[in-house]
């Protein structure tokens, strides 16, 4: 592996019990697929190149991002780099067909590709999705395969129907076949809720889970159940959404998005309190937001998104910045769960 210039970014932790390690900071690719704002192929390429130059060697994508745009862009960018020097994850649970109705913009994608999703968590559906991703990426070797958006957060009353596809319909069996054959090195979930991960662990032996937004400076309820269970079962967490969709990136003067929607007033008020403490200790809020979850031993990598090389470098600087122990002590006085591990000085 090429020697990286950022030691914390390039620090590696293992995935479950597998012979696979990911860097401390990973790149999530929803932003380069046009989440909330469109960007050019050149901007996407520059962002991925900046991640590589910073020492990031874990890249996550999904067919859902930009309706397959992220996989196309990421694969094109990564094919210039040695395949044995990075870890790649993508997701299954949807396959994409030509769009039959105009896109209404409700999912937040700007200028997505002209395809629409069909949810399918069956054995055949997962195998098809995996092969489709290989072709879009232009890469045969996918290291981690994650079941995307299973759970009540996405499917509501239809979740039991899709869960049955994973169990009786052979979806989990497909994951086991791909892992056992060596087609992928690790399998798990990519979701926005802890309940789905707990339910999956009770049903099937997963190696990891990409969890978006549920263990951040604003949310630590997963200390009650999910994180202890993951430690006990040696299931690694790939932590996405450390900025809770944006509000923790630049605070109350920035993007007031929380969990993919407009932030409620109580969240804005809590962020203002976090910012005030950070100012006292001369610590950027974004740095605290990115570093906090990585202090938990169950978290193998913190995934950050970026729309430009500049944003990427800002995130790397935030992850690398030294923060004083007094900051974490102050945050624990009413804003952090006292059980939460915090970074060392």
Question: What pLDDT digit, counting tens, does each position of 178-222 carry?
Answer: 999 999 999 999 999 999 999 999 999 999 999 999 999 999 999
Nearest to 56 by CA among 247, 276, 309, 288: 309
What average pLDDT does range 85-103 have in this prediction?
Answer: 97
Tell me the residue range of the domain where 62 lies: 7-331
Please check whether residue 289 lies inside any domain of the structure: yes
* 41-68 exposure pattern, b = at least 16 Cβ within 10 A, e = fewer: eebbbbbbebbbbbbbbbbbbbbbbbbb
3-state secondary structure 225-279: CHHHHHHHHCCEEEEECCCHHHHHHHHHHCCCEECCEECCHHHHHHHHHHHHHHH
Please check whether residue 342 lies inside any domain of the structure: no
Cα–Cα distance, 132 to 144 (Å, whole number): 15
Please check whether residue 119 lies inside any domain of the structure: yes
- Report the number of distinct structural domains present in the chain: 1
Cα–Cα distance, 69 to 58 (Å, whole number): 19
What residues are annotated to the active site? 60, 65, 91
In three-state secondary structure terms, 188 is strand
pLDDT at 2: 45
Question: What pLDDT digit, counting tens, does each position of 222-252 carry?
Answer: 999 999 999 999 999 999 999 998 899 989 9
The CATH number for 309's domain is 3.20.20.100
Alpha carbon 342 to chain centroid, angstroms: 20
The tokens of 89 are what? 């994850």
Q: What's the predicted TM-score (pTM) here?
A: 0.96
Please check whether residue 135 lies inside any domain of the structure: yes
For residue 101, count other CB atoms closer than 10 A to its CB.
6
């Amino acid at each position: 592996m090429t020697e990286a210039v950022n030691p914390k970014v390039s620090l590696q932790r293992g995935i479950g019990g597998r012979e696979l390690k990911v860097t401390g900071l990973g790149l999530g690719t929803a932003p380069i697929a046009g989440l909330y704002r469109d960007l050019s192929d050149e901007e996407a390429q520059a962002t991925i190149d900046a991640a590589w130059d910073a020492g990031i060697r874990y890249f996550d994508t999904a067919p859902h991002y930009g309706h397959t745009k992220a996989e196309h862009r990421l694969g094109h960018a990564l094919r210039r780099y040695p395949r044995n020097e990075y870890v790649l994850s993508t997701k299954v649970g949807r396959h994409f067909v030509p769009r039959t109705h105009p896109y209404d913009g409700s999912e937040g994608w700007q200028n997505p590709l002209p395809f629409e999703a069909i949810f399918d968590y069956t054995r055949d559906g997962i195998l098809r999705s995996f092969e489709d991703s290989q072709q879009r990426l232009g890469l045969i070797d996918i290291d981690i395969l994650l079941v995307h958006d299973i759970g009540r957060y996405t499917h509501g009353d239809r979740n039991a129907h899709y869960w049955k596809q994973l169990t009786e319909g052979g979806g989990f069996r497909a994951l086991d076949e791909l892992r056992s054959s060596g087609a992928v090195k690790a399998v798990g979930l990519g979701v926005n809720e802890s309940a789905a991960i707990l339910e999956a662990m009770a049903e099937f032996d997963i190696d990891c889970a990409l969890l978006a937004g549920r263990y951040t400076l604003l949310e630590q309820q997963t200390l009650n159940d999910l994180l202890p269970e993951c430690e006990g079962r040696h299931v690694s967490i790939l932590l996405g959404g450390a900025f809770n969709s944006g509000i923790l990136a630049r605070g109350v003067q920035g993007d007031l998005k929380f969990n993919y929607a407009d932030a409620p007033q109580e969240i804005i008020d809590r962020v203002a309190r976090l910012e005030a403490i950070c100012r006292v200790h001369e610590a950027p809020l974004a740095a605290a937001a990115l570093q906090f979850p990585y202090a938990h031993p169950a978290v193998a990598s913190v995934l950050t998104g970026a729309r430009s090389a500049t944003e990427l470098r800002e995130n790397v600087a935030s992850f690398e910045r030294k923060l004083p122990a007094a900051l974490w002590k102050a945050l624990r006085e009413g804003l952090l769960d006292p059980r939460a591990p915090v970074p060392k000085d």
